[in-house]
Structures are given as C-alpha cells and as structure tokens.
Homo-oligomer: A and B are copies of this chain.
Amino acid sequence: MDRRQMKSRTAIFRAFSTLLEKKRYEHITVQEIIDAADVGRSTFYAHFETKDMLLKEMCSDIFDHIFTGNPCKNTCARRNECDRVGFCDNNIECGGGALCKYETETPELEAKLAHILWHLKDSKSDIVGILTSESSDLFMNYLREYLLKLFRMYLPDFHADVPEAFLLNHLVGSFADTIKWWVKENMETSPEQTAKYFMEMTETH
C-alpha cells in the first residue's frame, strides 16, 4: 500500500477516534474529521464512502485484531507490538509467527474471555475512550457480532432450562455488559477476576 494512502488512512482513523471520545457519533461532522486529520476533503472521500463506512471499517480493524490473529492495520497506537498480540482463535500461533503473549494453555471459556479482556486492555488508548463515550452503542453492536460466534462454540457447556436462542442472547449480552462495566471502571479489576465474575453469574446449576 502506498505510504501516502497509509498516512491519510491512519490520520483519519486517529482523528475519528479522538473525536468519538469527546462527541457523540451523530454529532461529528465529516468536516471535523477532515480538519482534525488535516487531510483534503476529496482525500477523505477517496478513502471512505461515508462516515458510516468509516465507523464500520474502524470496528472491523479493532475487533479483528482482538478476536483473531490478524495484526491490526491502522488504529493501533503501537503498531510494532500488534503483530504479536493477536487472539489465537484455534490456540495456534498468533499472527506474525510468534506465540501470542496472552495465549493461555487451557482453552476454557473463562480463560478465553480473560484473554479477550487482556487484549482490550492492551489497546487501551484506542478503545477505552470510545467505549466510555456516548457513542459506545455502535461499537458494542459490532462487538456483539464477534461475541456471538465465540459463545456459539461454547453453548454446549451450558445447561440451563431455557431456549437455546435465549441462552445465547443472554451470554453475549451479559459479557458485552461486563466489558462495558469493566472499561467504565477503568479496567481496575484484573481480566482474570473479571472473567471469573462473569462466569459466577452465568454458571448453570
């Protein structure tokens, strides 16, 4: 990719991210993003069709990074580290070849959830502001899509006397809420402890 393209793209992501911490998504104008990113008007529209598309691409960027081994492309503050913090979905090597430093030996759900929280904490500067902002719903909705896939895999572990669709919805929603709570509380609780809290609430009897 052209270095110029890369530069513009990153500048736009950064500007957008910064703005999202301060204002609600709907109240952010493309003009503000352009000004903050310091790029030409036509440059913005050469990269993104609309503001909505920008958001979508940004979310994919972040969550792909957290849930899969793909190194993030633009939004991560410390790009050099990114290569080794991918989340190994199949318990194999992370993106970049090196073993993910947050990888755990046991592929238990609780460990996996803690794993995700670790990655969230790692990319703190990128997401924490957004997740605590008034625009967080948009992100949470994207995040939910990823969580849905994850929990579907672990569904057989749960034995509650409720319909499967209800259970899945409940698990995804609860963990999404847990993340939101955790971030709002400045991630003070450790990822392991937080994951444990979550399991404590959802363990079926």
Contacts and interface: CB of A to CB of B under 8 A. Distances in A.
Interface string A152-173: 0000000011110111011011
Given A174-B170, A177-B170, A162 B201 contact: yes
Nearest to A141: B137
A108 interface: no
Nearest to A138: B137
Contact of A137 (B137, B163, B178): B137
A197 interface: yes
Q: How many copies does the complex hold?
A: 2
Nearest to A177: B173
Contacts of A165: 181, 185
B202 A162 contact: no
Contacts of A2: none
A202 B205 contact: no
Contacts of A176: 173
A172 B200 CA distance: 16
A26 interface: yes
18 contacts: A25-B26, A26-B26, A137-B137, A160-B200, A160-B201, A162-B197, A163-B189, A163-B197, A165-B181, A169-B178, A170-B177, A170-B178, A173-B173, A173-B177, A173-B180, A174-B174, A177-B177, A205-B205
Given A163-B197, A169-B177, A174-B177, 4 more contacts: A25-B26, A160-B200, A170-B174, A173-B173
Q: Which 5 A-B pairs have the closest CB atoms?
A: A173-B177, A137-B137, A26-B26, A169-B181, A162-B197
Interface of A: 25-26, 137-138, 141, 160-163, 165-167, 169-170, 172-174, 176-178, 180-181, 185, 189, 197, 200-203, 205
